[in-house]
Amino acid sequence: MQGFKAFLLRGNVVDLAVAVVIGAAFGVLVSAFVKDLVTPLIAALGGQPDFGALYFTVNKSKFMYGDFFNAVIAFVIIAAVIYFFVVVPINALVARSRKEPPADPTTKKCTECLSEIPIGAKRCAFCAQPQPA
């Protein structure tokens, strides 16, 4: 029982539970936005007042494709919000934090004349002074 209690009280389990609850509430909010604002806006342009009322029948069975259309619009909006407000900023943050280490130097300064010479040079090409190893 102690192991189960420790598992439940770990931070990632609690964080996941909070994320699921917030995500469900956000889904309901977006669904209401689509049903109450987006669908009427599309209806004002296209002439259909409510997609939820659209259906067809086959052998006295109703197929409510209007509700499905509302759900598709809600899904696309949720996916766009998640992508543009979560995925893109996180990717930018990760890319910014992945700084490549500086490349090994290929040149050094001559100890005598301070000219740039190859790192493996034993003599300076400009002043002909021997270089320390």
CATH of domain 2-97: 1.10.1200.120
H or E element that contains 27: helix 11-33
pLDDT in tens, 22-60: 889 988 888 788 778 877 787 788 776 567 778 889 998
The pLDDT of residue 108: 92
Look at strands 56-58 and 107-109 and give their pairing.
unpaired
In angstroms, rounded to a whole number, what is the distance separating the alpha carbons of residues 12 and 39? Answer: 38
The pLDDT of residue 21: 92
From-to residues of CATH 1.10.1200.120 in the chain: 2-97
pLDDT in tens, 65-111: 888 887 888 788 888 888 888 889 988 988 888 877 778 888 999 98
CB-based contacts of 65, cutoff 8 Å, min separation 6 = 54, 55, 56
The pLDDT of residue 88: 92
